[in-house]
Structure 1
């Protein structure tokens, strides 16, 4: 993995392709983050804390161009939001940020300080911008106390950007504490999943380096057993994803790959939160940058599932492009019907509860679920009813509506649990769908939880 070095009086290091990719994802996420949080016209103040636990020197080279690293990007995102959000707003909104930038490399922190001063931020140092030379784990308790002092009712709106090198520098216990202490807390974690899988062995050092992840010896031995089996790497990735979610207590997780070209290995950009809309905003960002991020599969309810007979080498790479979108809608329609039938039988389920139960299993956005549900209703395979159980003549379910299998549905299930349609194939392309109601335009159905 890249080992960036900053030294006073010298040009910044050259950015790696995957570092540039991560920065693009973060910038786009922050733009949508502010837009979504401030959608309420009555809001007049937003307090938020940004933490970069591995800040580096704050700037890179991309050929002849200088590129802002995470610390400068976070500062710039706040400035951009202040300008854009107040255009045409009857009641101006004030953004009240705090920034904590840490790195164990003193020269990197000194370099960052110089860049902040060069950008005219000297007056902010020690006030809203705090620099620390040290380890994130050591500094976290003080940062937590500062967030607690700025919040009410445990909201603690904050984003922790933890761009670790490798996979052992961030204890899952800290992420668990962030998400349990603050309902508005989020974590964006870099996780070198392919490096971890390659490192697995029965040597003592393999066990010694994993306590931060809370992966026990039995789990390591199971990973080692699977490592050389058909589809083993694929399954280990899914087991690791489940472990990270369970160990951190995150309700929602989105782990998608960014390929590290210099090592021909893949990094996870893992977004962890307790808010479904926050996850949806992050997933929408991956769709924004087509052919940028990827995951193995076809886009259905598959991230948590695994077929032991499946050859992972034969799985398509899902690159969030137009072709993948079409395939995903077809696959998602089948999987949604199968899940409702298998898990809920004839009992309807609240649409919002169904979405929450499957959000972590797919790269689909909420708008994709809405489009698929609209099509299934149009083809009378899904029915919508009110919370009182009365049939609704609506094209698309609302949050409080109930959804269930329509009586006319004629799917039969084979041993491999794949549905076989006995009537003409439904069309998920809305250019040819019978419904005249257009799908929702925004990928973010509603706001982050209002605490």
Structure 2
């Protein structure tokens, strides 16, 4: 989708929104809602601070395919936070308050003027310069100023969500993402990119190598490793074991390209961002050749778990499919280009869920062999390699418990029968370990 399609002018109708953009909004808003509910499940919590930065905000309004007005992400985000606050208060005896702060950044003045006018028409102008900050500029140039404003009002431990719905692959360089996590350790990033930009990038890395030299330059990796503590294994070129400049001549399926993107670039994105947890998914719109890649980056597994739950809930939304291109099990390792080009997709449907269950039910005992592990630690170790969330894993473990293939012990030594907690120790019964290969 070209930038021109996303131009707004006060004297013209807004641009048309595509199905995958509606699906993205659904992911954003569902995640924010569940995020707030999860972190405020204790009814004694009186208030909650949240900062949301929409770094490519646009004009805040679209036309649907049937010419209906449709709010953009800034309005959807505000509405979601305020509705969630209201819902929580309906179950509380004491008042619960969300102290909310929004930064809406937009490069083009005309787009920002349209957004400001649309917010005013919705009577959100009363929050200007208090809850809502409108700012013109490019994200790469303005993000430090935004972070400074956040730190002045709160502190570095504030919960901040950065939504980076960029046009291409170079609007939010890895160095910027690393810096966000460094300055705001509890922040999270939801990053979206057009798949065709990524495919072009792999086929012709010289197009954007100035922005992301880490992918191809071993020396650059060493500089970052020394300076910022990022640990690298190999460059993308080394890991593919192919000459990237010859990839454009290789005739492969679209699935193969998606497999390359998710299994290789995703690993690099995690490393370059210094994020501990990531959740990658493809959004594929019906009758559209512009698929989107959506990835959530964070430093705490709770956030990763909530995002995974959201993906299960909103997968295959209307005319948009959500896919994960990776192995169904959490033991899978990349072993070469042949494996990568034959990778299987995961469509968040019942068939995929059943195949994942078979794989995980085999792998859990193997993972725990002679290695008793707290459930929370187990999830932290496997989370990045599976579409399963904590509740799915608990279901698997309850079945294994019923078949006496697992033993679960609470922190006080009590034998757990059903309700599994993060601190519970998951282990293989001694009699089963005797028959496991060493």
Normalised by the length of structure 1, the TM-score is 0.82
Q: Answer yes or no: is the 8 Å Cα contact 1:287–1:320 preserved in 2.
A: yes
User: Which digits, 9 at most, give the CA deviation of each residue in 1:43-65, with x for residues without a partner?
Assistant: 11111111111001011111222
Q: Answer yes or no: is the 8 Å Cα contact 1:85–1:93 preserved in 2.
A: yes
Whole-angstrom distance in 1 between the partners of 2:266 and 2:312: 20
Query: Whose helix proportion is higher, 1 or 2?
Result: 2
Give the aligned partner of residue 294 of structure 1: 323
Distance 1:409 1:41, change over 3 A: same
User: Which digits, 9 at most, give the CA deviation of each residue in 1:163-213, with x for residues without a partner?
Assistant: 0011110022222222233343111111334432333356744533434xx
Whole-angstrom distance in 1 between the partners of 2:75 and 2:203: 39
Distance 1:204 1:159, change over 3 A: closer
Structure 2 residue runs of 5 or longer lacking an equivalent are 219-234
Whole-angstrom distance in 2 between the partners of 1:283 and 1:149: 32
Distance 1:311 1:266, change over 3 A: farther
Q: How many residues align?
A: 405
Whole-angstrom distance in 2 between the partners of 1:413 and 1:66: 62
Give the aligned partner of residue 428 of structure 1: none
CA RMSD of aligned residues (A): 2.6
Secondary structure of the residue aligned to 1:91 is coil
User: Which digits, 9 at most, give the CA deviation of each residue in 1:347-366, with x for residues without a partner?
Assistant: 31222111111111101010
Give the aligned partner of residue 186 of structure 1: 188
Whole-angstrom distance in 2 between the partners of 1:140 and 1:244: 19
Q: By how many angstroms is 1:216 displaced?
A: 3.1
Aligned partner (choices 267, 271, 286) of residue 246 of structure 1: 271
Q: Answer yes or no: is the 8 Å Cα contact 1:380–1:408 preserved in 2.
A: no
Whole-angstrom distance in 2 between the partners of 1:312 and 1:215: 18
Whole-angstrom distance in 1 between the partners of 2:177 and 2:208: 22
Structure 1 residue runs of 5 or longer lacking an equivalent are 415-451
Whole-angstrom distance in 1 between the partners of 2:170 and 2:136: 19
Whole-angstrom distance in 2 between the partners of 1:55 and 1:202: 29
Whole-angstrom distance in 2 between the partners of 1:106 and 1:262: 32
Secondary structure of the residue aligned to 1:294 is strand
Give the aligned partner of residue 382 of structure 1: 406
Q: By how many angstroms is 1:254 displaced?
A: 0.3
Q: By how many angstroms is 1:128 displaced?
A: 1.8
1:305 aligns with 2:333: yes
Q: By how many angstroms is 1:339 displaced?
A: 2.3
Aligned partner (choices 354, 360, 363) of residue 332 of structure 1: 360
User: Which digits, 9 at most, give the CA deviation of each residue in 1:18-51, with x for residues without a partner?
Assistant: 1111011111112212211221111111111111
Normalised by the length of structure 2, the TM-score is 0.85
Q: By how many angstroms is 1:391 displaced?
A: 7.0
Distance 1:9 1:38, change over 3 A: same
